[in-house]
Chains A and B, each alone.
Chain A
Amino acid sequence: MKISVDITLAVGRAPQAFSLAAQFASHAARVVLFGPSGAGKSLTLQAIAGLVRPDAGRIVLGERVLFDSAAGIDLPARARRVGYLFQEHALFPHLSVARNIAFGLLPALPWRMPASASAKVARVMEQLALHGLAGRRPHELSGGQRQRVALARALVCEPDVLLLDEPFAALDPALRASVRSELEGIRQRFGVPMVLISHDLDDVRDLADTLVLFEPGRVAAVAHAQPADPGALLAAARASIAHAQPQPRPITHAS
């Protein structure tokens, strides 16, 4: 996959105004957006998904131009074919697990689930170890199950890319390593590239082919993994933390 992002974006009003200039490009299957809270990582991810509109710039995914202010292109979120995992999963609380997963496959007014959708839902539930949970409501699930339902709901639509907003932040630190490898396994099985937000060095070590380093309001550097030097990205991430430590940062309200 090729993804290229070059956008500027301002949100809010003084004194909480925040402006972002984000630029990066990658051909890698796994891109990690790394940086402190409030740097603009989530805003960048939302711009890729079409949930916020940049003031100017261009976003290209594969061969498709998702946004191009100069050409007047701004695909609505529903037409971008991206899978988005929200921090708190954003499962529909009034729908069963099966209906949550089927959401993207159904028309606006479904009387009953078409057989083709049922089959797809059953298959993805099997692949994500969710069998037996079809009739449950989201609040009856564990944190890990909820995340797998959110993943299943996104993957069943066959997105061109998965966008994950701090997927492990809500998890117990002891669980993160196993969930991280589980996510990577699922991602490989579905053959879908991903862009992942994190401020955890372990995510960089395990999941980054391309590392995009954020400073508040901008992308400071982009580094690509080198087979000859597997520790380079981790070192770059460490260096950016060390670099950011001495100066106190202004508090920003966008993340």
Chain B
Amino acid sequence: MLDWTGIDLTALWLTLKVAAWATLIALVLGVACGHALARARWPGRRWLAAALTLPMVLPPTVLGYYLIVLLGRNGPLGGWLLSHWGITLMFTWQGAVVAATAVAFPFVFISARAAFEGVDARLEQAARVLGAGEFKVFVQVSLPLAVRGIAAGTTLAFARGMGEFGATLMIAGNIPGKTQTLSLAVHDAVQSGNDALANALVVLISVVCMLALVASSHLLNAKPLSTATP
């Protein structure tokens, strides 16, 4: 039924590496965008928020196509990378990181934005009256009070990044040992009729994602600090 001996540890290691990098980048970008939009009141903020959430709901193939257009040899970013630095992201594990980052980002962005919106604005005002500049308000008040929501979103982002398939396939391909992540390996195992290997991979991925979801709900259900005092 299960064939643990056939599991290619390279795929597991690559999956974790790609997901970890993608989560880290999504964390930085998601917190920055979530904070910027949490207190925004200017027109157009809804459109920007929708655009930033789009990778979550777009078909992965559409997202992958966008990334190819952007990062391909003739794309604006891909062409620049190639002509100035001589590098390309197509069919590399770094390309897989880009794909996973794009799908993981909205999870951090949405939860960070909600978490920053949930911070009592009077606490930020109190900090300013006490002489704090905006950077100090962010690192000492807003961020610590929003950290649980951000952590919960980040866990989901990691799980989503681990499971990324469609956009990864389009931009990084499916090269065993180089860009073949676990979800691509499952696809190959099924296609080649290796059910025992597919079963083992599926169980492995399910367990890791289950753990991430439980961790995320723990973080969200913990008593929020900002309501601990009236």
Most buried by B among A76, A77, A81, A88: A77
A109 x B139 contact (CB < 8 A): yes
Taking a contact as CB atoms closer than 8 A, the residue among A49, A86, A90, A108 that contacts B140 in the complex is: A108
- Please report whether the interface of chain A is mostly helix, strand, loop or mixed according to DSSP: loop
B123 / chain A contacts, CB cutoff of 8 Å: 90, 92-93
A124 / chain B contacts, CB cutoff of 8 Å: none
Taking a contact as CB atoms closer than 8 A, the residue among B125, B135, B139, B229 that contacts A91 in the complex is: B229
CA distance in complex: A104, B145 (Å) = 18
CA distance in complex: A47, B185 (Å) = 62
B126 x A84 contact (CB < 8 A): yes
Residue B120 at the A interface, CB < 8 A? yes
Residue B228 at the A interface, CB < 8 A? yes
Q: Which residue of A lies closest to B129 (CB)?
A: A84
Total chain A interface residues with beta-carbon distance under 8 A? 31
B228 x A93 contact (CB < 8 A): yes
A103 x B228 contact (CB < 8 A): no
Smallest CB–CB gap between B221 and chain A, Å? 18
Q: Which residue of A lies closest to B125 (CB)?
A: A51
B129 x A78 contact (CB < 8 A): yes
B131 x A157 contact (CB < 8 A): yes
A93 x B129 contact (CB < 8 A): no
Residue B136 at the A interface, CB < 8 A? yes
Q: Which residue of A lies closest to B226 (CB)?
A: A93
Taking a contact as CB atoms closer than 8 A, the residue among B140, B144, B225 that contacts A103 in the complex is: B140
Residue B86 at the A interface, CB < 8 A? no
A88-B122, A90-B120 given as contacts; is B229 within 8 A of A78 (CB)? Answer: no
CA distance in complex: A87, B132 (Å) = 20
A88-B230, A94-B144, A137-B228 given as contacts; is B139 within 8 A of A82 (CB)? Answer: no
Residue B44 at the A interface, CB < 8 A? no
Residue B130 at the A interface, CB < 8 A? yes
A193 / chain B contacts, CB cutoff of 8 Å: none
B125 / chain A contacts, CB cutoff of 8 Å: 51, 77, 84, 86, 90
Q: Which residue of B lies closest to A76 (CB)?
A: B128
Residue B133 at the A interface, CB < 8 A? yes
Smallest CB–CB gap between B224 and chain A, Å? 9
CA distance in complex: A138, B230 (Å) = 9
A79 / chain B contacts, CB cutoff of 8 Å: 131
Residue B127 at the A interface, CB < 8 A? yes
Residue A216 at the B interface, CB < 8 A? no
Q: Which residue of B lies closest to A109 (CB)?
A: B139
B120 / chain A contacts, CB cutoff of 8 Å: 90
Residue B49 at the A interface, CB < 8 A? no
B122 x A90 contact (CB < 8 A): yes
Chain A, residues 131-173, CB within 8 Å of chain B (1/0): the string is 0000001110000001000000110010000000000000000
B139 / chain A contacts, CB cutoff of 8 Å: 108-109
CA distance in complex: A77, B127 (Å) = 9
A77-B125, A93-B145 given as contacts; is B226 within 8 A of A157 (CB)? Answer: no
B130 x A154 contact (CB < 8 A): yes
Smallest CB–CB gap between B229 and chain A, Å? 4
Chosen A-B contacts, 27 in total, with CB atoms closer than 8 Å, are: A50-B128, A50-B129, A76-B128, A77-B128, A78-B130, A78-B132, A78-B133, A83-B129, A84-B125, A84-B129, A88-B122, A88-B230, A90-B120, A90-B122, A90-B126, A91-B229, A92-B141, A93-B123, A93-B225, A94-B144, A108-B136, A108-B140, A109-B139, A137-B229, A146-B229, A153-B130, A157-B131
Chain A interfacial positions (CB closer than 8 Å to B): 49-51, 76-84, 86, 88, 90-94, 103-104, 107-109, 137-139, 146, 153-154, 157
Closest 10 CB pairs of A and B: A108-B136, A104-B130, A90-B126, A139-B229, A77-B128, A84-B129, A138-B229, A93-B229, A90-B122, A139-B228
Q: A51-B125, A93-B226, A94-B225 are in contact. List 16 more A-B contacts (CB 8 A).
A: A76-B128, A77-B125, A77-B129, A78-B131, A79-B131, A84-B126, A86-B126, A88-B230, A92-B141, A93-B145, A93-B228, A103-B132, A104-B130, A107-B136, A108-B132, A138-B229
